[in-house]
Structure 1
Amino acid sequence: MDGQTGLDKTAMAKPGDPIVLNFNRPLDRESVRGKVSLMLTDNNNTAVPQDIDYYADGAALVIKPKEPLRYSPETNPTSYRLQLASGIKDLRGEDWSGSFDEEFLLPHTIEKWMAFDYSSDGNELARTQSDTQLRSPFILGLYPGFPCVLDESTLNLASLISGRCKGGIYPNDYGKAENDLMPIIELPANRPIIVAFSQDMDPSSFHLGTSFIVEHITENGDVLNSVPGDLEIKPRSVYFHPHTPWKKGDFYRYTLVSNGQLSSSDTNCGETLCSLSGLPLQTQLLANIQIQEGNFSNPSVPDHLLLPYKIVPQTHLGYDEATGGGPNLVQYFIGAPPTSNVLQMLTTSPISDINGNLVSDRQRIYRGEDGERKELRQGLGWNRLDPNNPFFYKPEIAFDGIYELEEPGPKMISDPNTESLTDSDNLGWGYMMDPDGVKPSPNSAKVLSSRFDVANPDADWPYLSINNTMYAGANVGCGYQNIQGVDSTCQDNPFPGLPPICAQERAVPSICPTEKFTYLSSVLFAEVTSEVSEDGSIKVNIFPGHVVTTSFLTVVRGGIKGTTMVPTPSGYQVMRMRYTEDGSNNRIYPIEAEIGKSPEGTPQLSASVDLYLDAPLLWRNIQNTQGTLGGPDHNFFSYETSFSLTGGVKFLEDGRMIAEQINQNEVNFSLRGNQPATFIDLIIPKEGSFLQYISQPIKE
């Protein structure tokens, strides 16, 4: 535990971090020689001494294992034991009177599960144990630039435009606003290139000039020369330090080389960048798309509610291959004079998605009003996981199962922000949006449905009709526990002993407060400037990056009668931060944040952030569960939204900074589609999104 904040530093540790012990007095450097040992114990209970470097730096003892600290694999758990021998002295020559013999382990990486299938009557059927979803490593953040593959046709060096992200919205005639063009930013002469990854990378795959290329170029993009320098390789990041400073006003580019194939994991590590598991770097998280005229064939949807466009992922390019690579990622920048401003690399910590597969590897927990595990699981969507239904069975879409070990979920602390929220103001029956709701843990976001079902379609429903192929309500994390007839629409059944016949039935949502979360991973680069406002706030420039989130389940409700309740995993989502506008509607500046004082007088960081939301796999998942003719359509491609963020700034004993960012506004997401007709409203409630970033160790 950290003595200043009370936070669990082991949970926040990541592969490659040093171990730092803080004493109450400066240490005699010579006295620590031969006094430090580190052992690693694996599944065989064999303690193996670790080769380490260590030194005293003032009152801190810094230990750097030559084989970096790693997360503990589920199938071969590893722990560490750190010991200090007696004889350590302070600068006055006085002996340290304490002792230190501690065992610790980094969080587990989940490797096994037993996925659930569902029988025709809705019962869970556990499969035999298998590996959890594998995923190639991807880029969490980089500087300078933006962590996406750029469309080369939109590059304009002379106008300082690096281009538009591939998979973003390009100019079109169908009413969908095109994405921003990324600016080319300056890199001060005294700063390196930095890239951060989602998984431990294979250090032997980094070769300057082959898999990692840095070039000095002309304004026309012609190569003047390769830039000589050194690669500083860490488990989850790499730094490039040029031998000579970047030249002011000159253009440069750097290239991260992958296998050129989104659809394949075939690669030659060394010529390409790879993870320790041998998978290629996945450079492109957004799907390549085609924008078409909207599908206007659904007579139930009035014209003013129709999407004027239809966005279709280019499936032949293999956008949904989890272990694929991708095109080379190229970023551009301009040399600038050195700066005294401090650049902080901030990493989300602790994280839940420890194995980096963009899935929350936990069994779902849900119940009915009686406290029993209860959920209707029959019909469309569920039948795709019925092994006795061979024509529709899609085992790859499994979204729930049994785990011996699980990734961490939310803390069981009641959430006062959602206690009074119901769906009554959004055509619903007045059900609580978040019954027994709990607060988000660090680096998670709560997603709620603001309508489970339509209560009064005659008076309020904006579509021309409603039927079981029109998705009007939803529940996040779990489905519905039962169906109840609406008394005012019911008639006696002509057959004695049978229940009444009702024209409308309402679906009662199951209760699953711990399943309404998506888990967040991100790396940001923040520049703390010397600019101070009149109230003492310090200006901070945040260079836009992205937040990548795990998949969450939504069960959509079809119509107002029957049991059409389709489970639809969202797939991972990418939230891309947007640059700040200049006076001419060009987004070219970093996000302006400030460190000021909270009402309690403690430091806090505040920022307003515009974003694009993309759900690249949602199209595929709708198609897999519903089999829509001609393919589905939806609007969660470059969906525009904004967050107002504020959070505390704290400092650990070892000098690292923790910056929290919690949304102060309710954020609404309106999921719409023409085919199938979709009218689903989701919200992140106030303080429902909780990002916690930590800076890099000071003593490395």
Structure 2
Amino acid sequence: MPKLFSDNNYQCGTDSICDTSGLPLQTQPIGITTIEHIGETGNDRNYAVLTTGPDFEAGGPPMQQYFRGTEESKNVVQILSTLPVSDTNGNLFHESPNIGTSTDPGRSIGVYDYDIFEYGPTNIPTSKYPDYDPGGLKPSKNSAKVLSRFNSQGSIGATVNGANLGCDYIFITDIPLECPSEKFTYLMSSIVAEVTDEVTDKGLKVIMWPSQVLGTSMPLFGLTDFGILIPVPGHTGPQILRMRYGTKVNNEDPTIRNQPINAWIREEQDSLVLEAEVELYITAPYITEYGVGTPENTYNLGSYPIKMTLSGPVNFLDDGRMEVEQFNINKVDIMLQLHGRSSGAGDAGYVDLFIPEYGSRLNFISNPIK
């Protein structure tokens, strides 16, 4: 299958933008998607969608940035970035001790300890979903909790019958271990927003231009049918969330998406709150390569649509910068489905996931104005 491989045929500062270690800017992090017609499958679609993530040190094709001129406005432009960031080295893997996440380290993704490690969740307990998150913890800034419903569909005779995120199962059973601190992906993003002078009953209008959110990889143990159910360790790989453009009000063609996201700042109990309805695509380009199934499986976590209702406080720091915190106040369901690549292959498995209410916590801080 096509894949973006790393190579040394570039020169930093000449034909490539590089980081401080000399690696090129990765211009196509969602990888390459190949679509194959495979005949009657017995599934919802009779074609295979195969995605391969790029090598972690790969650059990518040339990137073009387009600009469109418009008339002058009185809007105040704010560039906001996620702060603080857990993934300080930017490798999209969370580097923190994971001792105790498997009863058999030889059958795990590895057991790691660090003298210096990246921050994890808060120590504030939450008991919202005790069946799926025993001993649960609230997210720290710029992280998202992702929970599994384990084998919610039962053993369907497929290769993968659910999974546990963060840690193993009690061998040899389908009883998941408890690891509340390992249920998180750590987020990075930036966004351009315009604060307008338009005030309605919803509040002060803010225009947000769609951006991306990158999440660190999470350990994943897929419950695999070998005659008996045995957990197989892997990684989700980095995940990419792309905010979708909106449509014009009363637009007759809802497929035309070229409008920014509207958000609203309003006053609530003497404090400012920002609210927005955001549609996103989730792409997990490495999920079958490093996670569950095989790279030959077709799966649905490529541009997987979700909706988030976001809300959170707006504050101003002593140096004048604006801080905006956003929580999802709705539950977000994510059903990963795996299919065989050949005609008549049928289902290859599932992983039933969800982000609980207030499980995603983004914290943006604006650039200094002066």
User: Contact conserved, 1:568 with 1:621, CA < 8 A, in 2?
Assistant: yes
Q: State the partner residue of 2:368.
A: 697
Change (3 A) 1:433 1:561: farther
Identify, as 1 or 2, the structure richer in helix: 1
Write the distance in 2 (CA, Å) between the matches of 1:399 and 1:686. Answer: 31
- Asked if 1:470 corresponds to 2:169, the answer is no
Task: Mark the CA change 1:677 to 1:661 in structure 2 (over 3 Å): closer, same or farther.
Answer: same
The answer to whether the Cα contact below 8 Å between 1:296 and 1:306 also exists between their aligned partners in 2 is: no
Q: Indicate how the Cα distance of structure 1 residues 689 and 408 shifts in structure 2: closer, same or farther if over 3 A, else same.
A: same
Question: For the residues of structure 1 that align with 2:353 and 2:281, how far apart are their CA atoms?
Answer: 16
1:554 and 1:410 map into 2 onto residues whose CA distance is 18
Pick from 638, 650, 654: which aligns with 2:303?
638
Matches within 5 A, 1:274-673: 274-293=18-37, 303=42, 305=43, 307-313=45-51, 319-366=53-100, 375-376=103-104, 382=107, 400-419=111-130, 432-452=131-151, 463=156, 466=157, 470-483=159-172, 507-534=174-201, 537-559=203-225, 562-582=228-248, 583=251, 584-585=253-254, 586-598=256-268, 600-622=269-291, 628=294, 631-673=296-338
Q: In structure 1, what is the Cα distance between the partners aligned to 2:239 and 2:38?
A: 23
CA deviations on 1:460-492 (whole Å, 9 max, x unpaired) are: xxx5xx2xx532221110011244xxxxxxxxx
Give the secondary-structure state (helix, strand or coil) at the position aligned to 1:355. coil
| Cα distance, 1:295–1:674 mapped onto 2, change above 3 Å | farther
Rounded Cα–Cα distance in structure 2 between residues aligned with 1:552 and 1:265:
29
Contact 2:204 2:264 in 1 (8 A): yes
Q: Aligned in 2, Cα 1:307/1:435: closer, same or farther, shift over 3 Å?
A: farther
Q: Which amino acid aligns with 1:375?
A: T
CA gap of 1:604–1:416, structure 2 versus 1, over 3 A, is farther
1:681 to 340, 349, 352: 352
Q: 1:336 aligns to what SS in structure 2? A: coil
Letter in 2 for 1:406: F
- Judge conservation of contact 1:296–1:674 (CA < 8 Å) in 2: no
- Please list the CA deviations of residues 107-157 of structure 1 after superposition, one character each: whole Å capped at 9, or x if unmatched: xxxxxxxxxxxxxxxxxxxxxxxxxxxxxxxxxxxxxxxxxxxxxxxxxxx
The 1:691/1:399 distance shift into structure 2, 3 A limit, reads farther
Contact in 1 for aligned 2:223/2:231 (Cα 8 Å): yes
Structure 2: unaligned runs, 5 residues or longer: 341-346
- Where in structure 2 are the equivalents of 1:65-214 lying within 5 Å? none
2-structure distance, mates of 1:308, 1:680:
21
Distance across 1 between alignment mates of 2:40 and 2:117 = 45
SS at match of 1:333: coil
What's the counterpart of residue 343 of structure 2?
A: none
Note the C-alpha offset of 1:295: 7.7
Change in 2 beyond 3 A, CA 1:344/1:265: farther
In structure 2, do the counterparts of structure 1 residues 639 and 400 end up closer, same or farther at CA, with 3 Å as the change threshold? farther
Q: Secondary structure of the residue that 1:587 maps to in structure 2?
A: coil
Inter-partner Cα distance in structure 2 for 1:291 and 1:510: 37
Q: Is the 8 A contact 2:99 2:111 kept in 1?
A: no
2:266·2:274 contact (CA, 8 Å) conserved in 1?
A: yes
Equivalent residues of 2:152, 2:352 under 8 A apart = no
Offset of residue 619 of structure 1? 2.8
Cα separation, partners in 2 of 1:601 and 1:399, compared to 1, 3 Å: farther
Identity of counterpart residues, as a percentage?
Answer: 38
Q: TM-score, normalised by structure 1?
A: 0.48
Does the CA contact (< 8 Å) of 1:453 and 1:507 recur in 2?
A: no
In the alignment of these two chains, the number of paired residues is 357
Q: Deviations over 1:334-366 (max 9, x none)?
A: 222332210100100101001000000112254
Residues 236, 290 of structure 2: 8 Å contact kept: yes
| Structure 2: distance between partners of 1:686 and 1:474 | 21
> Structure 1 residues 405, 265: closer, same or farther in 2, change over 3 A?
farther
- Asked whether the 8 Å contact 1:376–1:481 carries over to 2, the reply is no
After superposition, the C-alpha distances for 1:598-625 in whole angstroms (9 at most, x for unaligned) are 3x33101100111111011123224xx7
Q: After the TM superposition, which residues 198-277 of structure 1 pair with which residues of structure 2 at under 5 Å, given as runs?
A: 263-271=6-14, 272-277=16-21
Indicate conservation of the 8 Å contact 2:50/2:299, yes or no: no
Question: Residue 326 of structure 2 contacts residue 363 of structure 2 at CA under 8 Å; is this kept in 1?
Answer: yes
Deviation of the 1:307 alpha carbon: 4.9
Q: Summarize the Cα distance change of 1:526–1:273 in structure 2 as closer, same or farther, 3 Å threshold.
A: same
Letter in 1 for 2:117: E
SS in structure 1 opposite 2:161? strand
Distance in 2 between residues matched to 1:475 and 1:293, nearest whole Å: 32
Q: Matches of 1:534 and 1:671 in 2, distance apart?
A: 39
TM-score in terms of structure 2 length: 0.89
Aligned-CA RMSD value = 2.4
Contact 1:344-1:696 within 8 A present in 2 as well: yes
2-structure distance, mates of 1:295, 1:364: 44
In structure 2, give the amino acid aligned to 1:681. D
Assess if the C-alpha contact under 8 Å between 1:479 and 1:510 holds in 2.
yes
User: Does the CA-based 8 Å contact 2:30-2:54 persist in structure 1?
Assistant: no
Mapped contact 1:294–1:307 kept (Cα < 8 A): no
Contact persistence 1:448–1:516 (CA under 8 A): yes
1:560 to partner: Cα distance: 9.6
Whether contact under 8 Å (1:526, 1:541) holds in the other structure is yes
Q: Report how far residue 698 of structure 1 moved.
A: 3.2
> Letter of the aligned partner of 1:348 in structure 2?
T
Q: State how 1:1-80 maps to structure 2 within 5 Å.
A: none
Q: State the structure with bigger RCO (CA 8 A, min sep 6), 1 or 2.
A: 2
Letter in 1 for 2:275: S
**In structure 1, how many angstroms separate the alpha carbons of the residues matched to 2:104 and 2:151?**
14
| Conserved 8 A contact 2:297-2:348 | no
CA offsets 1:601-651 (integer angstroms, 9 cap, x no match): 3101100111111011123224xx76x4x8122111111111110000011
Equivalent residues of 1:647, 1:660 under 8 A apart? yes
Report SS of the residue matched to 1:621: helix
The 1:295–1:549 alpha-carbon spacing in structure 2 relative to 1, beyond 3 Å, is farther
